[in-house]
Amino acid sequence: MITHIVGNRPQFIKLAPLYHELAKAGCGQSIIHSGQHYDENMSDVFFEELGIPAPDVNLCAGGGSHAQMTARIMVSLEERLTAHKPELVVLYGDTNTTLAGAVVAAKLCIPIAHVEAGPRVHKRENPEECNRIVTDHLSDILFCPDAISLQNLEREGLGQAAYMTGDIMYDTYLTIADSVQESFSAEEVVVMTWHRQENTCSRARMESILNLVERLGERVICPMHPRTRKCLAEYGLLERAEGIPNFEITEPVGYTEMVRLMNRARLILTDSGGLSKESSFAGAKCLFMLEMDMWEDLVKDKWMHKFDPEREESVAEALQFARQAKRVPPADRPRHYGDGHAAAKMVEKLRERGLI
Ligand code: UD1
Ligand code: UDP
């Protein structure tokens, strides 16, 4: 039995292609949901849209501080994995769910496969960086989304276990994009997502991001993460945000709707690790609201521009980048993240290593 451990929106999106590929290969699988994301539009909608069976168990361990959440997930996970000891655990990305899964599975001597291994932002104050480093070092097989991630792992002495399979999110994107018309005639918009701890942890930071949206002065559609809405409300900024005439705040959307939005975006304004990379699949330039090492190939291509919303000079450059951004046709988009067959390559490598 292979057990997938997931709990967050991007993990459901990463799980879908691998689940389907392993099913094709005849592998028995189960899904443990940590409960880190729990709203219908942050969780269930992805299982339904992407054809993933409902989780075998939901640990309902979401909410609270990093330590509280990670500890709750670990305790429940240990019970579950001890009772149903799988032959392999699959972990995704870099969240607290990933970290909890890595520590528990490693101590129970269950082999671990890590999907989206190797990215490094080289900043310990980024909470996901801790999760990535620990998970990569405890895993038995590592699947990298790009060449830079593979180099990072080689530098850390993990090259023996690492493979460049390409980004599994590209598999998912292509599956959905196939069924969603890409229209160059639809009205072009700026699509925004915003949720990182670094961008929601202070009033000044949130206010500077709202100022930027206002200065953009064109329609910005923002399916808003519940964390961001809660933080805006706590800082007394929600009314200000809702009052910005060009700012269209919506509830979080399912993946099909997200692909529709990306595919008519002229620009993606985001702090999301996933969406910043997806911008290159969808042909929209990306303005990234954090200054840290991320998807450096896209930065070199001048596809992605990173900025600090709190520094006027940096904001001025960002606005200039935004004004010049145009939709890019498929043939001219960067291709750093594989060929859309990452899941098939993962299954092949798992087989070669005798893990399935
Ligand atoms: C988490 C991950 C982050 C990932 C993101 C994907 C960690 C440390 N962070 O951040 O790496 O990029 O998921 O979206 O694991 N909330 C709801 N409903 C939900 C989910 C969250 O209301 O369904 C609210 C709760 O108030 C919760 C807060 O959002 O406390 C933050 O959720 P949490 O999962 O801790 O962090 P994310 O910002 O979602
Ligand atoms: N996404 C979505 N609906 C939304 C916002 C984002 O389907 O309302 C998708 C997005 O296209 C990407 C993934 O969710 O595939 C990214 O998740 P998120 O930004 O929450 O996490 P991160 O990638 O930063 O870890």
Condensed to tens digits (0 to 9), the pLDDT of residues 153-174 reads: 999 999 999 999 999 999 999 9
Of 1, 69, 76, 10, which Cα lies nearest the Cα of 31?
Answer: 1
In the structure, how many helices (H) and strands (E) does the chain have?
A: 16, 13
> pLDDT per residue over 202-253, tens digit each?
999 999 999 999 999 999 999 999 999 999 999 999 999 999 999 999 999 9
Note whether 306 and 289 are same-domain residues. yes
Closest CA to ligand 2's atom 23: 274
Is 133 inside a domain boundary? yes
- Residue 319 pLDDT: 98
Q: Which two tokens stand for residue 128?
A: 């996901």
Q: State in Å: Cα 67 to ligand 1 middle.
A: 14
Domain identity same for 252 and 299: yes
Own/partner long-range contacts of 336-339 (Cβ < 8 Å, ≥24 apart):
336/146, 336/147, 336/280, 336/295, 336/297, 336/298, 337/145, 337/146, 337/166, 337/167, 337/169, 337/170, 337/277, 337/280, 337/281, 338/145, 338/146, 338/164, 338/165, 338/166, 338/167, 338/170, 339/166, 339/170
At 198-215, the pLDDT tens digits run 999 999 999 999 999 999
Q: Which atom of ligand 1 is nearest to the CA of 227?
A: 29
Greatest extent of the chain over all pairs of C-alpha atoms, in Å: 57
Name the pLDDT band for 3 (thresholds 50, 70, 90).
very high
Same domain? For 243 and 114 the reply is: no
Domain match, 244 and 105 both:
no
From 227, 229, 277, mutation site for ligand 1 pocket: most ligand atoms within 8 A of C-beta: 227
Q: What is the DSSP letter of 36?
A: S
**Percentage of the chain modeled with pLDDT above 70:** 98
What pLDDT does 30 receive? 98
Query: Which listed ligand is nearest to 259 at the C-alpha?
Result: 2
Decide if pLDDT at 186 tops 80: no
Residue 181, pLDDT > 90, answer no
Tell me how crowded residue 200 is: count the other CB atoms within 10 A of its CB: 21
Claim to verify: residue 19 and residue 156 sit in the same structural domain: yes
Same domain, 8 and 153: yes
Contacts with 255 (C-beta within 8 Å, 6 or more apart), sequence order: 13, 45, 46, 49, 50, 172, 176
Q: How confident is the model at residue 178 (pLDDT cuts 50, 70, 90)?
A: confident
**274 C-beta closer than 6 A to ligand 2:** yes
Residues 227 and 311 in one domain: yes
- Kindly report the average pLDDT of the chain as a whole number: 97
DSSP H/E element including 344: helix 342-352
Residue 184, pLDDT above cutoff 90: no
Please state, in angstroms and rounded to a whole number, the distance separating the CA atoms of residues 224 and 229. 7
User: 185 falls in which pLDDT band (50, 70, 90)?
Assistant: low
Q: Each residue of 72-122: pLDDT tens digit?
A: 999 999 999 999 999 999 999 999 999 999 999 999 999 999 999 999 999
Q: Residue 274's domain spans which residues?
A: 177-332
Mean pLDDT across 269-275? 98
The confidence score (pLDDT) of residue 182 equals: 62
Specify the pTM.
0.97
Residues 275 and 299 in one domain: yes
**Domain contains 93:** yes
**Confidence label for 333 from pLDDT (cuts 50, 70 and 90):** very high
Q: Can you tell me the mean pLDDT for 281-292?
A: 97
User: Both 203 and 280 in a single domain?
Assistant: yes
Asked whether residue 121 is assigned to any structural domain, the reply reads yes
Residue 172 falls inside a structural domain: no
Residue 68 included in any domain: yes
Ligand 2 pocket test: pick from 94, 169, 193 the residue with the most ligand atoms within 8 Å of its Cβ: 193
Instruction: Look at residue 301 and tell me if it is in a domain.
Output: yes
Is-catalytic flag, 305? no
Say whether both 243 and 314 belong to one domain. Answer: yes
Q: Is residue 17 part of a domain?
A: yes
Residue 183 is predicted with a pLDDT of 61
Give pLDDT, residue 180. 83
How many structural domains does the chain have? 2
The pLDDT assigned to 277 comes to: 98
Q: Is 86 in the pocket of ligand 2 (CB under 6 A)?
A: no
Q: Are residues 328 and 342 in the same domain?
A: no
What share of the chain has pLDDT > 90, as a percent? 96
What distances in angstroms separate CA 83 from CA 76, 78, 108, 246, one per listed residue? 11, 8, 11, 53
Half-sphere exposure of 175 (CA within 13 A, CB side): 18
Same domain, 236 and 327: yes
Is 279 domain-assigned?
yes
pLDDT digits (tens, 9 = 90+) for 114-155: 999 999 999 998 999 999 999 999 999 999 999 999 999 999
Q: Which residue has the higher pLDDT, 179 or 141?
A: 141
Active-site hit among 4, 114, 195, 225: 195
What is the CATH classification number for the domain harbouring 225? 3.40.50.2000
- Mean pLDDT, residues 175-186: 77
The phi and psi torsions of 312 (rounded to 5 degrees) equal: -55, -40
179 confidence band (pLDDT: 50, 70, 90) = confident
How far apart are alpha carbons 196 and 218 in whole angstroms?
23
Distance 193 CA to ligand 2 centre (A): 8
What distance in Å separates the CA atoms of residue 155 and residue 217, rounded to the nearest whole number? 44
